A and B are shown apart, each in its own frame.
Chain A
Amino acid sequence: MNPWHLDRGLLRRYEAGHTDLPLAGSIESHLISCGTCRQLAGGAVSVERLASIWQSIEAEIDAPQPTVLQRILRRLGFTHLAVTLVYDVTKFSRPSLRVLGTMASVTLLLVIATWMATPSTPDGSNCPVWIESDSACPAGLSPGSGPPTSATDLPDTARTLVDRCQGGAGRRATS
């Protein structure tokens, strides 16, 4: 089918940028459709480098995946803590808890958004009341600052939020 194939010399010239536009373009479109030449290209790349990239891909696949909502929230500048909380509460196994969890996280995000929009005061008095007991509040909620809260203690925080959602505003902790 393909009368023309790459050889090692041509591949080296392409790699070094010594092929002009028409030739480079021909090589690139040929590589897309020709398995034999793709194998040849495989020999031109460091095996260690390819293996290391593959390891990163696998590590990323095995890591918990952010949901679409989480990705949007990250883009909007919400912190690791806020986004992880959303992840935790929307993963509850019981549907009723999931609904409550989602409601709680929406409320939480609104509060955080308000908090982020409010100019901070030296005594931290704008810190939301529901999280006063959490000493990590000011650092953990500032965009891009502070270490991420460890994943292990997040479910409890999330559950507390759900409890508060169920119990209403009257049960807010005052520290």
Chain B
Amino acid sequence: MSRGEREALATLYARHGSWLLLRLSRRCSDAGLVDEVIQDTFLVVWRSASRYNGTGEVGAWIWGIAIRRLIDRLRGRSPTMVPLSEARKAEPSAEELVLLGVEYGDLGGALRQLPPELRAVVEATILDGLTTREAGRLLGIPNGTVKTRLMRARAALREALT
């Protein structure tokens, strides 16, 4: 743990700490928890910096750590939504959803029209890059519900875009 490494971490924190705080605050309203997640995240960065392969954006790597730390911290807390007894069906692919938008144009407009619960699922899986299981933990809903909502989102987008 040389002085130089500590300074490098300080620089990384100065560059990425604030936007990370803003973005996490959009996912979790508990400020204390957000602070703990940021602390956890930079400790993981500190301990696993050698595992960063140097390709891609550092910010994306840090976000990947942060959102998973948030999910870990949220685990064990009571779910924020009551699980719905929806039928489990085939898992839709997130890439498929994105490609659908790219192919047909106004994805932004179509996303805006999605009901909030479907938007939350699209946000967690596509923008945050989570698996359906992780998205379920973040949103406090079962994995099967995430899959069903993703499928409904895909159907709604297809309808809006064609």
Residues of A participating in the B interface, judged by any CB pair closer than 8 Å: 11, 14-15, 17, 20-25, 28-29, 31-33, 35, 38, 41-42, 44-45, 49-50, 52-54, 56-58, 60-61, 65
Contacts and interface: CB of A to CB of B under 8 A. Distances in A.
Interface string B100-121: 0000000110011010000100
B160 interface: no
Nearest to A50: B17
6 interchain residue pairs of minimum CB distance: A22-B108, A32-B59, A42-B18, A45-B18, A41-B19, A31-B19
A58 B138 CA distance: 28
Contact of B17 (A15, A21, A31, A53): A53
Contact of B1 (A42, A45, A53, A61): A61
B112 A57 contact: no
B59 A33 contact: yes
Given A31-B23, A50-B21, A65-B47, 10 more contacts: A11-B22, A17-B26, A22-B111, A22-B112, A24-B127, A25-B127, A32-B57, A33-B57, A35-B15, A56-B39
B48 to A, nearest CB: 12
A45 B22 contact: yes
B35 interface: yes
A58 B17 CA distance: 14
6 contacts: A15-B22, A32-B60, A33-B57, A53-B35, A57-B46, A61-B43
A35 B15 CA distance: 8
Secondary structure class of chain B's binding surface, majority of residues: helix
Contacts, number: 90
Interface of B: 1, 6, 9-10, 13-19, 21-23, 25-26, 35, 38-39, 42-43, 46-47, 57, 59-60, 63, 107-108, 111-112, 114, 119, 122-123, 126-127
Contacts of B16: 38
Given A31-B59, A38-B16, A53-B35, A45 B21 contact: yes
Contacts of B119: 21
Contacts of B114: 21
A52 B35 contact: yes
